Chains A and B, each alone.
Chain A
Amino acid sequence: MKRLLNSLNNIWSFVILFAFLIVGLLLILPLYNIFVSSFIDNETGSFTLQNYIDILGKGYYRKAIYNSIFVGFSSMFGALLIGIPLAFFTTRFKIRGKSVISTLAILALVSPPFIGAYAWITMLGSNGWLRHGFESIGIPMPTIYGPLGMIIVFSLKLYPFVYLLTSGALSNINSSLEDAAESLGYPPFSKFIHVTLPLILPAISTGALLAFVLSLADFGTPSIIGRDFRVLSTVAYNLFTSEMGGNPGLASTVSILLILVSLIFVYMQRIIIRNKDFGSDMLNPPEIKKLTRLTTIPVHFLCYFIVFLSSMPSLVVIYNSFRKTSGPVFQSGFGLDSYRRVINDVPDAIFNSFLFSVSAVILIVLCGTLIGYVVARKPSILTGSLDSMLMIPYIVPGVVLGLGFIVSFNSKPIVLTGTAIIIILVIFIRRLPYSVRSSVSILKQINIGIEEAAASLGAGPAKTFVKITLPLMLPGVFAGAMMAFITAINELSSSIILYVGGTVTMPVRIYLSVLDGEFGTAASLSTILLVATGIAVYTIIRLTDSDERVFL
């Protein structure tokens, strides 16, 4: 105990203490309340297992569980099917305009998923122009609504995770290993199967896991194009916000199930990659081969087709935003009607979005850098458990955390519901782990000897951090801040639950406009979001020399 007190006697101990406070209040408490509330009867307020019996027993809910897993799995396979070949071609062959391909993939990655859903409606919805176009030449096209549409939207939205992780792994393979297989008599394809594939499996499975968990957690897409096809996230939202008073108990139970499904997949992936981290220390980078005349056209076509298809929603949205509208209906010709509308009607959404994201980013950077430092540099049971707890937001869907915040902060002692602060805080805690992660990985690249040198020259811990470590971390911290901004300004799934009239944000406004059929408003707001996101991406690429994996 005495030793513990002694060790607390410096600046970093306060950081650790503060971090526990934040995590306890903003993460553990809301999830605990959800957990408790899933065992409470709505009417009587007493302990019950009825919620679980209902969820697992009723066809309606069981179907939602099944649907969620089905869509998650299919989207994951879709993302793998697109991402792995793209990664293979771009890392192993001379492809013209490689940076164009990776930039478009990054744009698909950072653009909010609900924009994709919405853009596909304008293309392949009941009145979609693409669908009409195909029908006019006699090719019947199904609408984008329903499970298949969701899977397509998710696959095209989430493949960049697989692509970036896999291409990173592919270009990190020690090429001697592949040469060795070849010298032992393995032709190219069996070489890939026996040597390359097992070595990139950890990266692929991480990409697959991200695709699965994110499609499971997403709220906007199923809500916009799912129609009658219910998944867990939309069911939880509807249960909570239902006009018949809502059912927080059942909503909590669904939330717990969502977390559980994600957890099972995280665990499965852990098993798959156990003992398979073959970090390659001696780098003998793989040779980038020239394509033959016969293969170059199909390979280029495939690569560009993929990234074009995935960035199509953004292009369509931007195009739509400049179309003439009259009321909610698009007219022929171009104009700035939609922009005039959003500036007149919903300036607060734009203002709120920027205010909330910038505030959240400042908090995220401050806390993330400091917490990252203690996790990386002061290893102990305390910081270790802090690190593990910060994994939680990765698997908790925004809808669930939003519910947790409402349950936790709508009564004394802390009343935050309906304020801007609650939205800023939910964004903050959801994105804090990313910032901590990136700080930790930057610090791992900074030789600890530099800090020891500073200490040996008489600088105290605070001075060492501010004068030595922080300047070295700065480029990485900046990139992390920009990434946090991108995710913050595009946040929908938690703010959709927490917003009130005065705290509406752009994503929420877009979502509501799409539901109301106000496609012009949705398009111009989406364009503003895309531009803000694009500028952030550009500054990351331009001002820091981070590689593309910073966007993961």
Chain B
Amino acid sequence: MSKVQLINLKKKYSEVEALKQFTLEIQSGELFTLLGPSGCGKTTLLRTIAGFNRQDSGNIMIDGLEIDNLPAYRRDIGMVFQDYAIFPHMSVEDNIAFGLRNREVSGQELKTRVSEALETVQLSGLEKRMPNELSGGQQQRVGLARALVIQPKILLMDEPLSNLDAKLRIELREDIRQIQKNFGTTTIYVTHDQEEALVISDRICIMRSGQMVQVGTPWEIYNKPVDHFVASFVGNMIFLPWPLAGMKDQNLDKLREIESFSGLNIDVSDNDKYQIGIRPEEVVISKQNSVLDSNVISLSGIVEKISFSGREAQLHVKLIDGNMIMANISRPDESFLEEVGKTVYLELPYKAVMFFEKDNGLRC
């Protein structure tokens, strides 16, 4: 169990600043995720911690000790790779034993540790297999076992699931989370898949162009995004102009009294300052106009398109001002699928509405 501190890390590739003054602390034993779109610097950061890149300036400390001048092979890290990086010329057993042999573990101890590692990743019995006889998911399990068996101070995982198919991805991410909790190894996990990050992490760091945008628990990231970027990157978010064309009649003044906004400094009567956002699952949709409710924004629009995905249906509704809004209906009954071209009524609960400043994207 080790604590990782990154202090003012900077890294430049020719003209591109891959990391800009990056400072972060990762607690011992936590599963910490770096999440961001491709090119945001998350992989650069991971590889810098691993020692494959050298930062231009700044320090990396593990348990308070600077490791900046240690080459990768002396950092005592375990790494799991996106493309598995299983040595194709070695059996499963030899792959896992590879790091131990170098640490002069041999004989019975080597055997025991290898078979324990195999058991952990549920591959017992496949010791003698060659990598080309394994599926992608099995290869990545070998990769995980190989990294864990050396009992590294920190475990680094670089998009370990992105080459697997959807079903396997879900299965393996649960296992990774479980194994990580059992071992208690401090883990830094890189992914561009926001759902994966939410499910697997203790804390998430959202990155954009070499900078940290927000650090927080999955709940905080999803429900309290700091800005427009985080809100749109994590989960789905519908953005609409403020004020909404269909709600002109509603009394804006009354809004100030509403609980969700009272603490915020929002001038709701300003026509040009804000953009609002709401998660599609918060939008309530109905065929009849409901009773006026002071806790919701009521709107109406015409259904343009319905995409049915089994578990739910998503309705694309065109509002009076031409803006589109999406709403999810779970377990839709068949009649809903015939609604294209008809008018529907929407309710946006105030407590689910987020206000973003137009000029800098920050959430109010």
Q: Residues of A at under 8 Å CB distance from B?
A: 174, 176-177, 179-187, 190-191, 194-195, 198-199, 275-276, 278, 280, 282, 284
Contacts and interface: CB of A to CB of B under 8 A. Distances in A.
Nearest to B103: A185
A291 to B, nearest CB: 16
A183 B79 contact: yes
A68 B231 CA distance: 74
**Most chain B CB within a 10 A radius of its CB, from A184, A187, A190:** A184
A182 B73 contact: yes
Contact of A183 (B78, B84, B103, B130): B78
B85 A176 contact: yes
Given A199-B88, A278-B89, A182 B83 contact: no
B50 interface: yes
B71 A183 contact: no
B50 A185 contact: no
A278 B71 contact: no
Interface residues of B, number: 31
A184 B82 contact: no
A185 to B, nearest CB: 5
A177 B73 contact: no
A276 B85 contact: no
Interface of B: 50-52, 71-79, 81-85, 87-89, 98-99, 102-103, 130, 143, 146-147, 150, 156, 163
A184 B150 contact: yes
Contacts of B72: 179, 182-183
> Which 10 interchain pairs have the tightest Cβ spacing?
A184-B99, A176-B85, A278-B88, A183-B79, A282-B83, A180-B85, A176-B81, A182-B72, A198-B89, A185-B102
Contact of A181 (B74, B75, B98, B163): B98
A239 B119 CA distance: 69
A174 B74 contact: no
Contacts of B52: 179, 182
A183 B88 contact: no
18 contacts: A174-B85, A176-B82, A176-B84, A177-B88, A179-B85, A180-B79, A180-B85, A180-B146, A182-B51, A182-B52, A183-B78, A184-B78, A184-B98, A184-B99, A185-B73, A185-B76, A185-B103, A199-B88
**Most chain B CB within a 10 A radius of its CB, from A174, A177, A183, A280:** A183
Contacts of B82: 176
Contact of B150 (A182, A185, A198): A185
Contacts of A177: 85, 87-88
A278 B131 CA distance: 10
A179 B76 CA distance: 13
A282 B163 CA distance: 10
**Most chain A CB within a 10 A radius of its CB, from B85, B146, B147:** B85
**Most chain B CB within a 10 A radius of its CB, from A176, A181, A185, A190:** A185
A516 B52 CA distance: 62
Nearest to A199: B89
Given A184-B98, A186-B102, A278-B88, 18 more contacts: A176-B81, A176-B82, A177-B88, A180-B143, A182-B51, A182-B52, A183-B75, A183-B78, A183-B79, A184-B99, A185-B76, A190-B102, A191-B73, A194-B98, A199-B88, A199-B89, A275-B130, A280-B88
Contacts of B102: 184-186, 190
A180 B82 CA distance: 11
Contacts of B150: 184-185
A185 B52 CA distance: 13
A283 B162 CA distance: 15
Contacts of B83: 174, 176, 282, 284
A180 B130 CA distance: 17
Contacts of B85: 174, 176-177, 179-180
A284 B159 CA distance: 14
Contacts of A284: 83
A186 B73 contact: yes
A191 B71 CA distance: 13
Contacts of B87: 177, 180-181, 195
B77 A183 contact: yes
Contacts of B143: 180
A92 to B, nearest CB: 14
B62 to A, nearest CB: 14
Contact of A185 (B84, B99, B163): B99
A276 B82 CA distance: 23
A431 B363 CA distance: 72
**Most chain A CB within a 10 A radius of its CB, from B50, B77, B87, B147:** B87
Contacts of A282: 83, 163
Nearest to B75: A183
B146 A187 contact: no
B321 to A, nearest CB: 46
Contacts of B78: 183-184
